[in-house]
Structure 1
Amino acid sequence: MIHLPSPARGPLRALSTRLIAAIVLVLVVVGVVYLDREGYRDVNEDGLTLLDCFYYAVVSLSTTGYGDITPVSESARLTNVIVVTPARVLFLIILVGTTLEVLTEQYRTNARLTRWRTHLKDHVIVCGYGTKGRSAVVALRENGFDIRRIVVVESDRVAVRQATAEGLVAIEGSATRSATLAEAHVKDAKAVIIATDTDEANVLVTLTARQMTAGKVRIIAAAREAENAPLLKQSGAHQVIVSSATAGRLLGLSTSAPPLIDVVEDLLTPGHGMALALRSADRGEVGKSPRKVSELVIALVRHGRVFSLASPECATIETGDMLVYIRDDRAAPVETAISRDGS
């Protein structure tokens, strides 16, 4: 089941507004009739009570009109012409509008779903909206990725509601099923981020995504234990992030070299001082040393492999190389991680 982000004003709120308007309209008519109750005749000829005024207002506005209470004085009839009749028309409009709201809500939802499917391409699928999944979405948004191109796949209804409340499209279902990933248009995706609760589920999702995309879509998976990382790579993950090992290394650094933790957090947080960035090498930089580039280059990506500056392969920049550099976010607005070639 696909859950689109809720509109600013939902149908329940619209129905509540119309209901309140109808009640207010009834009360207005009751008040007008009660003030001029001497100008109305009741079949019982015992005068109009407040209950009789409510009864007359309801049957008049609903166009039932039993005729047991009728206006006889000129002021009462003038009130019916000026107040009650327009109120009756307005009351019918409220009822019809409420009915149309209910009948057309499903149509609007289907229309929004059709538009979403039509424009969905080069998106990122996040399987699992727990702590890691939410952090991945935050990182994508901080790096300028369009929120409309992020699709969350989650089986937990609470997490699905949280995702839609934050403006994301969420698909309720298990990411291990090919039908669920097909709903997310996995074949047209740019990347699949797998961050479920268990490594076993991550392996199954990786195998399913790899089978459906034939390896054409980049798969990034999270692993709780380092021993499961090779299995995830064999299953088709292009990159595996080991959360326990990474957390352990950071904890060790916080003990032996506390300032390094602040540097790592600064590098991983866009908009706060330094940030890691990736761009393609310019034509004028080909043949030069990475150390001669204006930015502070720390690594090269060549044919999918990462080389540090200490490697002999990094002596000069070649055509097609990607430069990993440190960007100063205090001097420039936040940009996407791959900036110059638009990929």
Structure 2
Amino acid sequence: MKRSLKTLGLSERAEHELVGILRMPESSVSPVTAIARRLVWAVLALFAAVLIVYLDRDGYRDVNEDGISFLDAVYYATVSLSTTGYGDITPASDSARLINILVITPLRILFLIVLVGTTLAVLTERSRQVVKIQRWRSKVRDHVVVVGYGTKGRSAVSAVLSDGIDPSRIVVVDTDQAMLDAASLLGLVTVHGSGTRSDVLRVAGVPRAKSVVVAANRDDSAVLITLTAREMAPKAQIVAAVRETENVHLVRQSGANQVVVSSETAGRLLGMATHTPTVVDMVEDLITPDAGLAISEREVEDSEVGGSPRHLPDIVLGIVRAGKLFRVDSSEADAIETGDRILYIRKVTPADD
């Protein structure tokens, strides 16, 4: 027995049923530009019809029987394309009638499409979205899913974009349509729904995602989202933000690789700012990827293997070995090994922006 549409999960629905929930980025065009384009097409269609009628004017009959002038051709094309059709000028010869069938009628349809463009644009947009969603769902791999597009989510997206990730490979999940509209303007793929629902996360492609950023407003939501995402994507890098330190272990047990305590981090910075404000400025500079200095990670070069990270020209903070970070002052970081990655401070140049 078939289930009704209401009982189907989002991930089981066809592409045309996801329009309005999953939204692919579109190039933004101002209303004035859109109207101007439609007017240009309407004028071109009208001009083509006028030219065709005037060149074949001997095949048309006027009730005044004084021949077809250029003004008569403009008049006939206008009333014909607008489907007014007074009948005072009619195609009389076989060639004129054939041209009306093969050329004028398609131009009339084009003209009406332009005039009724607002309604048809909605239908066209829906069709384009269906095609884009179908293509995206079949090809998306190793993308980044950001659950929650509040202050934390927007900052996370900015950092990911600064690393050179294409906006179309970032998926934002949120229940606030205004937030999703803002994300769409940046070229991001958006999914309207709650990240605590498994079917919403499936639509966002979490099972095939490379990284998942959990930026929920509530810690209990962060725990549930992390748990669901980890079940879907056992190998994905999951980073979650929580408000309270006491909830860190819950999020880690749910499967998060990294947990950021937003309130505690903000509190530390506030406290430091009371007596060492310049330190706070430096920290802000380091965690802002598009200005000044930035913390980055790179692969080691063959010539660096066996050497000490302290002797590198870069300001090295640590070594990442087998997914584990060793600070530069630890004994494990005395010598660089093959396969290590260097965590260092780099200067952001205009080319990086």
TM-score (norm 2): 0.73
Q: Please list, as runs of the form range in 1=range in 2, the aligned pairs for 1:72-221 lying within 5 A after superposition.
A: 91-96=108-113, 98=116, 104-213=124-233, 215-221=234-240
Q: Does 1:333 align with 2:351?
A: yes
Using a 3 Å threshold, how does the CA distance of structure 1 residues 18 and 307 change in structure 2: closer, same or farther? closer
Q: Does 1:302 align with 2:306?
A: no
TM-score (norm 1): 0.75
Using a 3 Å threshold, how does the CA distance of structure 1 residues 125 and 315 change in structure 2: closer, same or farther? same
Asked if the contact 2:145/2:170 (under 8 Å) is kept, the reply is yes
The one of 289, 296, 301 equivalent to 1:277 is 296
Post-superposition Cα deviations, 1:114-165, rounded to whole Å, max 9, x if no partner, equal 2222331111000001110001001111121111110001111121112112
Q: Report what 1:263 is aligned to.
A: 282
Deviates more, 1:142-151 or 1:228-237: 142-151
The one-letter code sitting in structure 1 at the alignment partner of 2:176 is D
Post-superposition Cα deviations, 1:186-238, rounded to whole Å, max 9, x if no partner, equal 1211100000111111111001001111x211100000111111110011000
Displacement of 1:240: 0.2
Q: Does 1:6 align with 2:23?
A: no
The one-letter code sitting in structure 2 at the alignment partner of 1:174 is S
Deviates more, 1:113-122 or 1:56-65: 56-65
Q: Does 1:248 align with 2:260?
A: no
Displacement of 1:319: 2.5
In 2, Cα distance between the equivalents of 1:12 and 1:105?
18
Deviates more, 1:260-269 or 1:186-195: 260-269
Asked if the contact 2:82/2:111 (under 8 Å) is kept, the reply is no
In 2, Cα distance between the equivalents of 1:110 and 1:299?
46
Aligned length: 297
Displacement of 1:88: 9.0
Runs of at least 5 residues in structure 2 that lack an aligned partner in the other structure: 1-20, 51-61, 65-75, 90-95
Asked if the contact 2:81/2:111 (under 8 Å) is kept, the reply is no
In 1, Cα distance between the equivalents of 2:209 and 2:329?
35
| CA RMSD, Structure 1 to Structure 2 (Å) | 3.5
Asked if the contact 1:270/1:334 (under 8 Å) is kept, the reply is no
Post-superposition Cα deviations, 1:70-103, rounded to whole Å, max 9, x if no partner, equal 48xxxxxxxxx9xxx9999855431145577565
Asked if the contact 1:18/1:94 (under 8 Å) is kept, the reply is no
Using a 3 Å threshold, how does the CA distance of structure 1 residues 112 and 252 change in structure 2: closer, same or farther? same
In 2, Cα distance between the equivalents of 1:334 and 1:217?
27
SS of the equivalent of 1:176 reads coil
SS of the equivalent of 2:136 reads helix
Asked if the contact 1:63/1:88 (under 8 Å) is kept, the reply is no
The percentage of aligned residue pairs carrying the same residue is: 46
SS of the equivalent of 1:174 reads coil
Using a 3 Å threshold, how does the CA distance of structure 1 residues 116 and 63 change in structure 2: closer, same or farther? same
Using a 3 Å threshold, how does the CA distance of structure 1 residues 14 and 326 change in structure 2: closer, same or farther? closer
Post-superposition Cα deviations, 1:11-49, rounded to whole Å, max 9, x if no partner, equal 997578647976997xxx9xxxxxxxxx999xxxxxxxx
The one-letter code sitting in structure 2 at the alignment partner of 1:232 is V
Computing the radius of gyration from Cα coordinates, the structure with the larger value is 1
The one of 223, 227, 236 equivalent to 2:246 is 227
The one-letter code sitting in structure 2 at the alignment partner of 1:317 is I
Asked if the contact 1:2/1:169 (under 8 Å) is kept, the reply is yes
The one-letter code sitting in structure 2 at the alignment partner of 1:303 is A
